[in-house]
A and B are shown apart, each in its own frame.
Chain A
Amino acid sequence: MTTQLTRAAAPVKSSGRKSGRARGAQSADVGRPGFAWAVPATIFFVLFAILPLLAVAALSFMSWGGIGDPEWVGLDNWNRVFDDPVMIKSIWLTLLLTVLGVVLQTPLSILIGVWAAGTQRNRAVISAVYFVPLLLSSTAVSVLWRALLDPNFGIPSEATWLFGDGNLFGKQTTAIGVLAFVSTWQFTPLHSLIYQGAARAIPQVLYQAAEIDGAGRVRQFFHITLPQLRNSIITSMILMVVGGLTTFETVLILTQGGPGTDTTISAYYMYQKAFKSFDFGAGAVIALLLVVAATIISLIVVRLSGYDKMRSTMEGVS
């Protein structure tokens, strides 16, 4: 008891040391870390990610082909990008693919994650296999799926009733379908892993209590598991949205934006502008648009879900 009392005195002193924020709110601030804890990582991150991004912002007002000196052109790049029909089309395609990704991957990865969280040995083995697609580089993923989907020698030739002549990459609808499917294949493991971890953390007592109340498996899932996975669902959705907006490798390797420009999503278009057409100014504009869009969407998700408020409600209780 006495030791507890003496220890309790110490943090008061230390919080007093903190930049004059000791306005009577001591009790809530007791034992709370100051922002100094965040400083090293933040400096590192600002140096190697935010500053380059600022340089990109500067580039968006310049004309630059990679060689020679950049020249100021004001809003020229921005105007060009907004007048470009391919760019407008790419925004719709990006949204479509992102939504498809969230709709396909969220239920699938929750189910897989919850299932894999079970302690049975066979589940452990099988879920280890589930994880493997995440290990493959995009090159490998593309080579594999291209081979599997070859219209003459792959799966489509064995199932013509389903695939017809197998011209999956030659039509917009099927090409988009393939892209959505392959990214689901590739990224579901990541999200399942997040859910698996979270599902394991759900206290077993909740289920035991429900069992006693006679709740079935389905009810347990909807009344216990899902609500308990809330944090993870938000984390995973943010990752999906951001990933959907910025991933372009699948497109680069599977369809190259084709047929024509029918699968040219914004991130791929940025890459094309910057590194195929060497129009770094326009590339920079698209990159900034993507960063802004993704940030806004994740902030909305955070705000709507109360992810950041969760803390304050809890703190209100204390």
Chain B
Amino acid sequence: MRTRTRFSRMLVGGVTLGMALSLSACGDDGGSGSSDGKIHVLVYGDATNKVEKAVVAEFNKTSKVKAVLDTIPGATYQQKLQTIINTPQAPDVFYNWGAGSIQPFVKAGLLMPLDDFIKDDPKLKSAFLPSVFNAAQVDGKSYGVPMRGTQPVLLFSNDKVLKDAGTKAPKTWDELIDSVKKLKKSGVTPIALGGGDQWPTLMWFEYLYDRIAGPDLLEKAVGGDKDAWASEDSKKALNKLKELVDTGAFGTNYDSVKYTDGGSPALVARGKAGYELMGSWYYSQQQENAKEFAEKDLGYNSFPTIDGGKGDPANVVGNTNNYYSVMKKTKHPEAVAKFLKLMYSDKFIKQQLAIGNLPTTTNTEKFLDTAADPKYARYQFDLVKKAPSFQLSWDQAYPQSASEQMHQAVQQFFNGSLDVDGFIKAMQALPTA
């Protein structure tokens, strides 16, 4: 058995080698992995890396084993991680989205369960909000420590546009439909949507399913129960959504609008649309891009309740947090444990708050006044803390390999090329864990 897998491995790696075959016979090490008395920390490379840089610097002040921060350009992070994770070049600690994003690695036996670390230092678990911490558990074991901020999805609005149309932010679904009709009459696009990016569209599905069917449906579906998608609740949610699309709530050209190039937030900021459903990062985005609007007219609300729905109206969906997971083969587990402890240190929490992130430790509350925007930070924190369930974005709850097909189905349902049954079939075809 062993020789066979070895052989096929050699074909993939070794066929390329001709020359280097003799080298590979000498063994598998080499490369810059964990053998050099350092721990490598791999993170998603973007403009918020400064906090991670500061944490590493802080750690290196006292630790004999030094940490090295490696950043991978954002959009390609997953591709690179998948390429190196089972090679000597794998990092010791790496950034991920919890749940579905680490499940394949857990299955392949690559990750270290953190339960021993937690036994030695219970605060590694107890210092974090349970709903967030638990999102990185697989098969009852903990594999991740929260390391950035939580990002619930909220219904943002341009309150001036709402007022001009004679409506206000909705508490219930019926109010939302009514508000959409009034906005449409007043000549604006009721709801801005960056359909070109596909994931903003998905947020609408997430909330409708959560409100109508409750969080169980998705849990079952991700667990492999295909019937969950064909349930009555599922159909009801889809029909409600269809109804909303058909009233023209999103206009006609949403598939050509992107969030990521500033198209959809500009619609709201410039008074051409009333609402946008987006992650909590939207707030700071508008602060930067449209300060005047953000200070005067930007409203934020939780998603409306739906009569007769099974989900608790206090539930939220979104990105629970990002996590650090640890590779089983790290040579310096003690150093890694020490590094992870910094994730609940006061200093780290303050640094996160200062750049607009909302860390999810239980004592975050104490420091909310130091946040970039204390009022907004408190609103979010209360929302997350009180939520009975925090539904992880579908594309993160499912294995990464499902996300492309999921995004396609979502887009096709919105533009009418998939009907309710077609959508259900597409979701049933997704790979589960």
Q: Quick check: do A and B touch in the complex, using CB within 8 A?
A: yes
Interface residues of A (CB under 8 A from B): 47, 51-52, 54-55, 58-59, 62, 64-72, 143, 146-147, 149-153, 165-170, 256-261, 272, 275-279
Q: What residues on B are CB-neighbors of A59 within 8 Å?
A: 12
A150 touching B15, Cβ below 8 Å = no
Question: For this complex, into which size category does the number of interface residues on chain B fall?
Answer: 35 or more
Q: Quick one: given A259-B417, A276-B401, are A67 and B85 in contact (CB under 8 Å)?
A: yes
- Given contacts A260-B417, A275-B79, A55 and B252 within 8 Å (CB-CB): no
Is residue B404 within 8 Å, beta carbon to beta carbon, of the partner chain? yes
In the complex, besides A150-B258, A259-B412, 14 extra interface pairs with C-beta distance below 8 angstroms are: A54-B15, A66-B83, A68-B86, A149-B256, A153-B266, A167-B255, A170-B255, A258-B411, A259-B415, A260-B412, A261-B408, A276-B403, A276-B404, A277-B405
The answer to whether B415 and A170 touch across the interface, beta carbons within 8 angstroms, is yes
Q: Which of B8, B82, B254 contacts A71 (CB 8 A)?
A: B8
Knowing A54-B15, A258-B255 touch, does A67 contact B110 (C-beta < 8 A)?
yes
CA distance A55 to B16 in the complex (A): 6
User: Which B residues from 178 to 224 make CB contacts under 8 A with A?
Assistant: 195-196, 198
User: Is A147 touching B261 in the complex (CB atoms < 8 A)?
Assistant: yes
Query: Which B residues are CB-close (under 8 A) to A153?
Result: 263, 266
Tell whether, in the assembled complex, residue A62 and residue B8 are in contact, meaning their CB atoms are under 8 Å apart.
Answer: yes
Residues from chain A with Cβ under 8 Å of B431 in the complex: 277
Q: In whole angstroms, how far apart are the Cα atoms of A153 and B412 in the complex? A: 25
Q: Is B415 a contact of A260 with CB atoms below 8 Å?
A: yes
- Evaluate whether A58 and B15 lie within 8 angstroms (CB atoms) in the complex, with A68-B86, A71-B8, A259-B417 already known: yes
* Bound CA–CA A146/B267 (angstroms): 15
Which of B13, B104, B253, B418 is in CB contact (< 8 Å) with A170? Answer: B253
- For the A-B complex, the count of residue pairs with Cβ-Cβ distances under 8 Å equals 131
Which residue of chain B lies nearest to A172 when distances are taken between CB atoms in the complex? Answer: B417
Q: List residues of B whose CB falls within 8 A of some A CB.
A: 5-6, 8-9, 11-13, 15-19, 78-79, 82-83, 85-86, 104-105, 108, 110, 195-196, 198, 251-258, 261-263, 266-267, 272, 400-401, 403-405, 407-408, 411-412, 415, 417-418, 431
CA distance A151 to B258 in the complex (A): 10
Contacts of B9 in A (CB 8 A): 69-70
Who on chain A is nearest to B405 by CB? A277
Q: Are A51 and B272 in contact (CB under 8 A)?
A: no
Name A's interface SS. loop
Within the complex, which residue of A66, A257, A260 is in contact with B82, where a contact is CB–CB below 8 Å?
A66
11 sampled A-B residue pairs with Cβ under 8 A? A67-B85, A67-B104, A70-B8, A152-B257, A152-B272, A166-B256, A167-B255, A260-B408, A276-B404, A277-B401, A277-B405
| Bound complex: CA A72 to CA B8 (Å) | 7
B97 to chain A, nearest CB (A): 15
Query: Within the assembled complex, what's the spacing in Å between the Cα atoms of A165 and B261?
Result: 19
Least CB distance from A182 to B in Å reads: 14
Query: A151-B257, A152-B266 known; A258 and B198 CB under 8 Å?
Result: yes
B12 touches A47 (CB 8 A): no
Report the Cα distance A69→B108, complex, angstroms.
10
Which residues of chain B have C-beta atoms less than 8 A from A52's C-beta?
16
Q: What's the Cα separation between A143 and B262 when bound, in Å?
A: 10
> Which chain B residue has the least Cβ–Cβ distance from A57?
B15
Expressed in whole angstroms, the minimum distance between the Cβ of B79 and any Cβ of chain A is 5
Q: How far is the CB of A291 from chain B (nearest CB, A)?
A: 16
Are A146 and B261 in contact (CB-based, < 8 A)? yes
Contact A55 B12 (CB under 8 A): yes
Q: Chain B residues near A277: list those with CB within 8 A.
A: 401, 404-405, 431
Q: How long is the Cα–Cα vector from A149 to B17 in the complex, in angstroms? A: 46
Please pick, from A47, A55, A166, A260, the residue contacting B253 in the complex, using a CB distance under 8 A: A166
